[in-house]
Chains A and B, each alone.
Chain A
Amino acid sequence: MNSAIEATNVVKVFGSIHALDGLNFTVKPGEIFGLIGPNGAGKTTALRVVSTLLLPTAGAVKVFGLDVVHKAGEVRKVIAYLPEEAGAYRNLSGWEYLGFMAKFNTKNKGEIHDVVREAAEISGLGERLNDRAKTYSKGMKRRLLVARALMTKPKVAILDEPTSGLDVLHSYHVRGIIKRYVKEQGVSVLLSSHNMLEVEHLCDRVALLNEGVIVAEGKPQELKRKFESENLEEVFAKVVGLA
């Protein structure tokens, strides 16, 4: 399989708003691919289409060759989606939440146990997993959710703003989890962020999204060279004509 995700001319219209206007990108297996852009650029919509939550108005998206519209059930078996600023069930403990989520992927008790243990290790929350999620800080909650997304060793992890709203330490921890896990398990990652500096350090390749279309794509270093910029923020400003 040459591509983990293949999006071709994807259009998504909400009433009179064209959230995606002919989106094309490919994520290679084992790669961290970042969709970056300002708020309202269409990043979350693109991720929701890939995650089978939204239907594209036109175009096609395939995950390891499976069409997200016609093979949605099959696609859901190979992906893990982490929504932006998602919460956990407030009255479940960390262990209970992970156990609840693990049961959707396997019925085998031994496997569930292993998966939850793996998630506990990824999250690094230790004893706090015994506490209810409502007692967690924002950063702890995010670590729990990232661990949930990666614990089943999905073929594709779709992470929407994985470090949004987190402090430096928690952001550092979450980025570390993603990088380490991809290396160890060969997971393909599609993530979105409006923090272009962060993405520069995390992603193998990035696509700059503006008003529903990709305006530039490539490795961060290549883009910086091509647009003679010091960072991706500058690249974006030049591409959209702000600088």
Chain B
Amino acid sequence: MLKGFQNILVKELKELVRDPKILLGMIFVPLIMFPVLGAIMSFAMQSAQEQAEKATLLVVNNDGGNWSEFFIGILSYSVKVSVVNNETAEKALDLLSDYNATQFVEIPSGFSENMTEHIHNPNATACVNFYGVFSGGGMFESISSSLIDNLVYAFNRVVAPDAVHTEKSAIIHGSIERGVDPAVLSGLMISQAIAMPITIMILVSYSMQIAATSVAMEKEEKTLETLLSLPVDRFAILMGKLSGSILVAAVGALTCMIGLNFYVGSFSAIIPADTSLDLVSLGLAPSLFGYLLLGISLFVTLLSALALAVIMSAFAEDVRGAQSLVGFIYPLIFIPSLLLMYLDVNSLPFALRIFLYAIPYCHPLIAAKAVTMGDYLTAVWGIVYVTAFTFVIMYAASRLFATEKILTAKLRFKWLRRRKRKSAE
């Protein structure tokens, strides 16, 4: 054993464990965060599964033969089926909302004929056409597409292997894109679904650290005292600090996006070579206006996060304290980001939806999905809300800088001290 090692180790542990900020930030927060993350993951998967199973599957029967009736019967075992007869795919599209469905299967005429042919000639196969609405919701959006695969597989198991195959098409912005498999599309969109939340998580948390460290460093080095005693507008000090942090954060965002682009690009090899999907031509990449809204949303969110970090760091005595305090905000950034990575906000229970909308850091994520799907209003409302929130925080920050509180404010963990005192007694 190293001489003195045990003594130093015990001292280190005492110092670290007795610091309430470390205790809360590094032990309690992760202890709560991981079970919450686990719950989110299982909730996300379950709700996507349930939604896919509960959803009505509209079946357009243009065949009318025995085999189509049998096929519908097999589908009915697993999902709720509504049947309409002799309609075009375009007409069926209009009927989706009437049946509260987001997908339909068309059994084309000649289906029964082809099935009968298959009995004699295994090379002949029948085909059904699947059409699924693509909403850009989340990572589990491909579940509905895989559901039809499972149903056709179940039918083939009963009848004959490879008797029926599926032709898939996606319904994007209310029109049918033939030959575009929603699952492949979803795979392509996953790059966005992952990239945006990760970028925003890194960007917001990193910017908050920069801002908090910047103020705490000034307090620790007492340069803030010097600045406050100078003939300078105190709001200018605040804005100068925030703007500096934003500029550094913007550079960070840029490098982060470039890095992520390479990362996501490495997954394109997974996409089948014969699928020539172009998200821009399908209207699934944000327009210039969409990018503008997304940029504004990200900017106001960053501003609010930075202002909050400045306020929080004002309550810390040193850099370590400021970083620990800012750490308390991280669950509010990470958990919703992960949640929105897997789920569409509109598919969540009302209370959870309101909770997410109330967290400003969710709005760039919500805006990213919304502008991709051409829903600009949601993005605009998010910007309005976050801007209002930012104004409140900025006002609080400016009030803090205008008074002596910026030097004297300290966050005291009275309850922890009381407990310690009691246990000492």
**A47-91 contacts to B (CB < 8 Å):** 48, 51-55, 73, 76-77, 79-90
Q: Is B223 an interface residue (CB 8 A)?
A: yes
Docked complex: B322-374 residues within 8 A CB-CB of A = none
- Which single residue of chain A is at the shortest CB-CB distance from B403? A55
Q: A86-B222, A86-B223, A87-B222 are in contact. Are A79 and B407 (CB under 8 A)?
A: no
Bound-complex Cα distance A78 to B403 (A): 20
**Interface check B121, CB cutoff 8 A:** no
Question: Do the beta carbons of B222 and A76 come within 8 Å of each other?
Answer: no
Where chain A touches its partner, the secondary structure class is: loop
Alpha-carbon distance A34/B225, docked complex (angstroms): 21
**Chain A min CB distance to B419 (Å):** 21
User: In whole angstroms, what is the CA distance A73 to B408 when docked?
Assistant: 20
Candidates B220, B223, B403, B408; contact of A89 at CB < 8 Å = B223
Contact residues in B for A48 (Cβ distance below 8 Å): 225, 407
- Indicate if the CB atoms of A104 and B408 lie closer than 8 Å: no
Cβ–Cβ contact A73 & B222, under 8 A = no
Tell me, in angstroms, the Cα distance from A55 to B408 when the chains sit together.
11
Contact B404 A76, beta carbon cutoff 8 Å: no
Q: Which residues of B contact A54 (CB under 8 A)?
A: 404, 407-408
Q: Let me know if B4 is at the binding interface, CB within 8 A.
A: no
Q: Within 8 Å of chain B (Cβ to Cβ): is A105?
A: yes
B231 contacts across to A, CB distance below 8 A: 73, 76-77, 104-105
Which chain B residues border A104 with CB–CB below 8 Å? 230-232
- Chain B residues numbered 71-121 whose CB sits less than 8 Å from any CB in chain A: none
Most buried by A among B222, B223, B229, B232: B229
**Measured between C-beta atoms, what is the minimum distance from A122 to chain B in Å?**
16
Tell me the complex Cα distance, A53–B222, Å.
12
Residues of chain A within 8 A of B230, CB atoms compared: 76, 101, 104-105
A154-193 interface code vs B (CB 8 A; 1 in, 0 out): 0000100000000000000000000000000000000000
CB of B238 to closest CB in A, whole Å:
15
C-alpha spacing A77/B231, complex, angstroms: 5
A76-B231, A104-B232, A105-B231 are contacts. A83–B407 as well, Cβ < 8 Å?
no
Cα–Cα, bound, A53→B232 (Å): 13
A83: chain B residues at CB < 8 Å are: 222, 225-226
Q: Is the CB of A53 within 8 A of B225?
A: yes
Tell me the minimal C-beta distance from B157 to chain A in angstroms.
69
A52 touching B229, Cβ below 8 Å? yes
**Nearest Cβ on chain A to B85's Cβ, whole angstroms:** 76
Q: Are B226 and A14 in contact (CB under 8 A)?
A: no
Is B228 positioned at the interface, with any CB of A under 8 Å from its CB?
yes
B221: interface (CB < 8 Å):
yes
Are the C-beta atoms of B222 and A85 separated by less than 8 Å? yes
Q: Is the CB of A82 within 8 A of B408?
A: no
Q: Which 6 A-B pairs have the closest CB atoms?
A: A87-B221, A86-B222, A81-B229, A83-B222, A83-B225, A76-B231
Which B residues are closer than 8 A to A by beta carbons? 220-223, 225-226, 228-232, 403-404, 407-408
Q: Could you give 25 example pairs across A and B, Cβ below 8 Å? A: A48-B407, A51-B225, A52-B229, A53-B225, A53-B228, A53-B229, A54-B404, A54-B408, A55-B403, A55-B404, A76-B229, A76-B230, A77-B231, A79-B229, A81-B226, A81-B229, A83-B222, A85-B222, A86-B221, A86-B222, A87-B220, A87-B221, A89-B221, A101-B226, A105-B231
